[in-house]
Amino acid sequence: MAQTPRRLTPHRSALHGFGAALRQWRERRGLSQRALGRLVHVSGDLVGKVEKAERWPSARFVESCEGALQTGGELVRFLSDLESGRRLTSVGYRLVDDAEGQLRASIDHPDRPYLLRSWHEQLAGLAIAGNRTGYAGMASTAHAQISIAAAVGRRSRSGDRRDVLIAQALWAEFLSWIDEQGDAAEADAWLRRAQQQAVEANAPALASYVLMRQSQRALERFDPRNAIALAQRALEEVRLPGRIRALLLIRQAQAYAMGGDQNACAASIDKAHRVAGSADWGSELPIDVGVHCDAVYVAAHEAQCRLLLGQPAAAADLYEQLLRHWPAQWRVDEALWRSALSTAYLNSGDVERAATEAANALALATGTSSARALRWLNPTAVALRQQTAIPEAAAFVLAYRRATLEACNH
């Protein structure tokens, strides 16, 4: 059965754009949906659903419609954007309910620099707020901004498009970080998307930053070989800002520590200390993505490396010094480092202090809704289940069980 036409917003997405173009060319050729379907060997119902942006067209369908309608290449020009859109959908891309008005206003906004600046300011503000209060609820905002940026990019000239691609890459990387605080199911896919856009924009510093994040993800999977390879690939870029270089050196050091290479780890950490905190953040980037990489950040990772290398007492000493004056706005990170400190105490044989610090980390993890921090606490929880004769350990084990089961139920 032929589908009833509905009004589309062509610039809302590649799917809407293709559907509108297909309908326009079909009607121009005087064909019904059923007649076009016969020409391209599909049902008229499928043609109608594609025209209503309810079904993703295959590449074969697009090419067949191009051949049947002779559009001069207009339909096949959608192929790349359709494939990109399909991939975005597979990792959770969606245009949220209130985004269409924002989308129309953004596309028609006469001041493109203002639009870009507002994206960058909002992103920087969310990143700071997220570390302080947690990232719950921020994903819908990021999805909306990616939707808007994608639509604006399709309408932009080549020169402007680079800036929009950089904005899209930054939002995609931020979405990967948000997802990592939850179940991390889509974090890698968002990072692949960010890397593709950074490369397409010819933004080497941003591409290197995304490689650093991919290296970090490899470390979370206990894959030091891949982590080193990704970091080394990024470090080959000679124009790296100091903070991004320091972040990459930290990932290298963590991977070496995970593999047990103390000398290589120490060399990378020493280099990171020398370049961290640099004000050189690169003219190509609209925001300083490495702003958090200061002396405190490097020292916290040095402590983690000592823990990985089997030096729990040294790690605990360093964590204690850092956490005594830890920045109040870095609560998500504090949950991670207090979790690591609890592991250091546990590995040193101090079960009571391990349980007390684990409880502190758990309070921060639940307060910021950080599933990542809960995952970091799991080894301590497993070990302390064998120590429930100690009141602090028993209390933590019970609290951890409640927190993880509550997280599962949400």
Question: What would the two tokens of residue 203 be?
Answer: 């933004």
> Nearest Cα to 237, choosing from 216, 258, 264, 210?
210
Question: What would the two tokens of residue 52 be?
Answer: 């209503």
Secondary structure of the chain: what % helix, strand, coil (to 5)?
75, 0, 25
Give yes or no for a contact between 106 and 115, defined as CB atoms under 8 angstroms apart.
yes
Q: Which CATH number, 3.20.20.70, 1.10.260.40, 3.30.2020.30, 3.30.1600.10, labels domain 14-90? A: 1.10.260.40
Question: What would the two tokens of residue 177 be?
Answer: 């970080």
Q: Crossing angle for the helix pair 224-235 and 242-259, nearest 10 degrees?
A: 150
pLDDT tens digit at each of 410 positions of the chain: 445 555 555 555 678 889 988 998 999 999 999 999 999 999 999 999 999 988 999 999 999 999 999 998 889 888 877 876 676 555 444 544 444 444 444 444 444 565 677 777 788 888 888 888 788 778 888 888 888 877 777 776 666 788 889 989 999 999 999 988 887 778 999 999 999 999 999 999 999 999 999 999 999 999 999 999 999 999 998 789 999 999 999 999 999 999 999 999 999 999 999 999 766 655 678 888 888 899 999 999 999 999 999 999 999 999 999 999 998 888 999 999 999 999 999 999 999 999 999 999 999 999 988 999 999 999 999 999 999 999 999 999 999 999 988 756 55
pTM over 0.85: no
What is the 8-class DSSP label of residue 42?
S
99-323: CATH topology = 1.25.40
Distance of CA 154 to the CA centre of its chain: 22
Cα–Cα distance for residue pair 193/81, rounded to 1 Å:
13
Cα–Cα distance for residue pair 318/339, rounded to 1 Å:
14
Q: Distances from the Cα of 236 to the Cαs of 88, 216, 223, 229, in angstroms?
A: 29, 17, 21, 11
